[in-house]
Amino acid sequence: MKTVKEFIVEGTLKQLTTGPSRSRIGLDRQRKDASERAAFRKAGMRRTQSGGSRQRFSSTNNQNEYSKTAITSYPSQSAYAKDAIPEKEQHFKDGKGVKSTKDRAIFLKRLKKQLKTTRTRRGVHAVDILPKGDYKKNDPKDSIPRGREFQRVVREVPQEVKNAGGKGGDKIVGKASEVMPGSKNPEQGRKKRRKLYSKAIGATDWDPVTKVQVASVKEQKTFSEFLELVEKYYAPDEKLSSGKSPLRKALKKQEKRQSEIGPNSDIRRMRRHSEKIETKVKHGADNPNYNSRVNSRDDDEVRVDSDGTDYMTVHHKPSKVTYNVVKSPGPGNIHSIEWSHERGHREGLLPSERNSISRDARRVYDRHVSHRLPHGATLHNKPAREGLGKIYKRVGFGNVDSDNDQFARIGREKSPKQKAKGRKGRLTPLDPKKTKRDANWDGDSGRG
Give 265-293 pLDDT, tens digit per residue.
666 777 777 777 666 655 555 677 888 88
Domain ranges of the chain: 24-216, 284-447
Q: Are 435 and 441 in contact (CB under 8 A)?
A: yes
Which residues sit opposite 214 in a β-bridge? Answer: 173
**Average pLDDT of the segment spanning 86-111:** 71
Q: What pLDDT is recorded for position 91?
A: 44
Q: What pLDDT is recorded for position 94?
A: 47
Q: How confident is the model at residue 138 (pLDDT cuts 50, 70, 90)?
A: low
Q: How confident is the model at residue 324 (pLDDT cuts 50, 70, 90)?
A: very high
Q: CA-CA distance, 329 to 155, in Å (whole number)?
A: 54
Least confident of 233-242, 359-368, 374-383: 233-242
Q: What pLDDT is recorded for position 235?
A: 66
Nearest to 381 by CA among 346, 334, 445: 334
Q: Are 122 and 77 in contact (CB under 8 A)?
A: yes
Q: CA-CA distance, 316 to 298, in Å (whole number)?
A: 10
Q: CA-CA distance, 162 to 239, in Å (whole number)?
A: 40
Q: What pLDDT is recorded for position 445?
A: 37
Q: What pLDDT is recorded for position 337?
A: 92
Give 329-347 pLDDT, tens digit per residue.
876 789 999 988 887 766 6
For 431, which DSSP code? -
- Asked if the model's pLDDT at residue 32 lies above 60, the reply is yes
Q: Are 207 and 110 in contact (CB under 8 A)?
A: yes
Q: What pLDDT is recorded for position 18?
A: 47
**Against a cut of 0.75, is the pTM above it?**
no
Q: CA-CA distance, 363 to 236, in Å (whole number)?
A: 61
For 68, which DSSP code? E
Cite the beta strand spans of 82-218 per DSSP E. Answer: 124-131, 171-174, 213-216
Q: What pLDDT is recorded for position 321?
A: 92
Higher per-residue confidence, 90 vs 143: 143
Q: CA-CA distance, 121 to 50, in Å (whole number)?
A: 14
Give 210-236 pLDDT, tens digit per residue.
888 898 888 766 666 656 665 666 666
- Asked if the model's pLDDT at residue 241 lies above 70, the reply is no
- Asked if the model's pLDDT at residue 296 lies above 80, the reply is no
- Asked if the model's pLDDT at residue 254 lies above 80, the reply is no
- What does 22-36 look like in DSSP terms, one character per residue? -SHHHHHHHHHHHHH
- Asked if the model's pLDDT at residue 2 lies above 80, the reply is no
How many Cβ atoms from other residues are within 10 Å of residue 43's Cβ?
A: 22
Query: In sequence order, which residues have a C-beta less than 8 Å from that of residue 266 and are 6 or more positions away?
Result: none
What is the separation of C-alpha 421 from the centre of its chain, rounded to a whole number of angstroms? 24
Q: What pLDDT is recorded for position 374?
A: 86
Length of the chain: 448
- Asked if the model's pLDDT at residue 448 lies above 50, the reply is no
